[in-house]
Every structure is written in structure tokens, then in C-alpha cells.
């Protein structure tokens, strides 16, 4: 008991750190957006013909995007995704700048019947940091 009282701050830091590690895992496992790292997204694109959908706004998309990505802003996703990706059986990788908007986009896509919808973990930032190609325009 003396140890706990003398080191309460260290114990608190350990508990908070542990919680920070488990919360994302629990959110992902409980119906949250399935996130794929950049390398897995490339594998899906090459082997399973995954479609990449960029959900950022037009200015962000024009500044740089994944080669071959289709542009459907998040606000228009529900109306325009069926026209952009006709085959609902294909994997769909949704991306944005950091992964926040695309996580919301996965929920919209799944509601529309795209069961293989996933978010690009870390977004375009992680894609660029992995040294993968980005095109402008």
C-alpha cells in the first residue's frame, strides 16, 4: 500500500497510457470504420481492384490526391457515391487529409450497401509519408 501511495502519479500515467492504446482498438472492433494502412490500400488497389474515393473538398483534391482516386466530397457522398462506384462488391478505400472525414464516409458508404468500405489510416498525410505517389490537378 505504501508503494501505491508513494507512486500514485506513475500508476495514473500507466493507466491513462493503457486506456489510450485500447480505446481505438475497441472503437474499431465495435463497428467503427475499418482502417487500412497505406501499404494495405496499395495491395487492395493492385490485387482486388479497390476503388479509391477522396472525400475532401475540391480545393484540397486539386492540391494533391492519390493517382486514380475518384473525387466525391463528403457532403455529396450519399448522393454521388453510387454513380462513382457502381460495383458495391469491390473494396472501396475512402481517404481524406488525415482519416477523420473518411471514417465518417465509411459509415455513409456502408449505409449505401458498400460492405467493403474502408478508411485510409492517416489519410493522404500517411500516404505521402509512405512515399507513395500523389498527383495534382
Number of domains in the chain: 2
Torsion of CA 107, 16, 18, 103, to 10 degrees: 10
Q: What is the C-alpha to C-alpha distance for residues 84 and 61, in angstroms, rounded to an integer?
A: 16
**Catalytic center residues:** 96
Local confidence band at 18 (pLDDT 50, 70, 90 cut-offs): confident
Please answer whether residues 122 and 99 qualify as being in contact, where contact means their C-beta atoms are separated by less than 8 angstroms: yes
Q: Are residues 19 and 84 in the same domain?
A: no
Q: Are residues 39 and 15 in the same domain?
A: no
Domain that holds residue 52: 33-135
Mean pLDDT of 31-50: 88
Percent of residues, the chain, with pLDDT higher than 90: 73
If one counts every other C-beta atom within 10 angstroms of the C-beta of residue 5, the result is 8
Q: Are residues 69 and 130 in the same domain?
A: yes
Is the pLDDT score of 23 beyond 70?
Answer: no
Q: pLDDT at position 30, please? A: 37
Is the pLDDT score of 31 beyond 50?
Answer: no
Q: Are residues 25 and 70 in the same domain?
A: no
Q: Are residues 88 and 119 in the same domain?
A: yes
Mean pLDDT of the chain: 89
Q: What is the C-alpha to C-alpha distance for residues 133 and 135, in angstroms, rounded to an integer?
A: 7
Amino acid at each position: 500500500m505504501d508503494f501505491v501511495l508513494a507512486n500514485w502519479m506513475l500508476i495514473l500515467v500507466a493507466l491513462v497510457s493503457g486506456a489510450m492504446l485500447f480505446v481505438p482498438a475497441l472503437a474499431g472492433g465495435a463497428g467503427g470504420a475499418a482502417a487500412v494502412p497505406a501499404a494495405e490500400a496499395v495491395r487492395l488497389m493492385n490485387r482486388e481492384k479497390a476503388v479509391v474515393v477522396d472525400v475532401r473538398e475540391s480545393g484540397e483534391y486539386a492540391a494533391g490526391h492519390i493517382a486514380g482516386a475518384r473525387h466525391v466530397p463528403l457532403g455529396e457522398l450519399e448522393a454521388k457515391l453510387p454513380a462513382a462506384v457502381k460495383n458495391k462488391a469491390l473494396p472501396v478505400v475512402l481517404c481524406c487529409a488525415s482519416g477523420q472525414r473518411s471514417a465518417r464516409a465509411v459509415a455513409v458508404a456502408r449505409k449505401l450497401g458498400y460492405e467493403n468500405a474502408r478508411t485510409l489510416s492517416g489519410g493522404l498525410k500517411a500516404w505521402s509519408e509512405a512515399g507513395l505517389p500523389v498527383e495534382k490537378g
